[in-house]
Amino acid sequence: MADPLRCYRCGASLAELSLPLSRLDECPACRAELHVCRMCTHYSPRLAEGCDEDDAPDVRDRAAANFCDYFRPDPHAYDSSAADPDAAARAQLEALFGDAPADGAEQAGPQEHDDSNDAARRAAEALFRK
């Protein structure tokens, strides 16, 4: 059985929409346009043109509806790790420097604060040592 089609932006199910998707179709949850490069099986951000189809038209805005005849909806277009860039950045920082108190959390005393700065400095120095 084929994977269900999901919105590339929010991950909502698109099962209620009929295929093929029209240029005017939008996600019922987030209202994102769906006939876009980011939702296509040919979308390849690693390539300079952003598309692995040689004859596809040049599209500047990959998240805007377009008239590309090569468009094929990709059920795997939604990437949950890219959905919240702030959370992804926080996770990378925590992996590098360890857990830090969140905003509004109890603040460390002067000695505890110095210890965490020292640990962060040691981690950064270890990372950039030759």
Give yes or no: residues 122 and 95 share one domain. Answer: yes
Q: Is there a single domain that holds both residue 59 and residue 96?
A: no
**What digits encode the pLDDT tens for the residues 31-71?**
999 999 999 999 998 888 889 999 998 888 988 999 999 99
User: What pLDDT is stored for residue 119 in this prediction?
Assistant: 84
Instruction: State the pLDDT confidence band at 82, using cuts at 50, 70 and 90.
Output: low
Range of the domain at 93: 85-128
For residues 43 and 73, state if they share a domain: yes
Boundary of a domain, candidates 45, 60, 80: 80
Residue 33 tokens read as 């346009």
34 and 66 in a single domain? The answer is: yes
Q: Distance (Å, rounded) from C-alpha 73 to C-alpha 35?
A: 8
Is residue 2 domain-shared with residue 29, that is, in the same domain? Answer: yes
Domain shared by 72 and 47, yes or no: yes
Domain count, the chain: 2
Confidence band, pLDDT 50/70/90 cuts, at residue 7 = very high
Indicate whether 116 and 73 sit together in one domain: no
Co-location of 22 and 47 in the same domain: yes
What are the backbone dihedrals phi and psi of residue 33, each rounded to the nearest 5 degrees, phi first? -65, 145
Q: Is the pLDDT of residue 28 over 70?
A: yes
Residues 6+ apart with CB under 8 A from 26: 32, 33, 34
Q: Please tell me the predicted confidence (pLDDT) of residue 104.
A: 47
Report yes or no: 57 and 37 within 8 Å, Cβ to Cβ. Answer: no
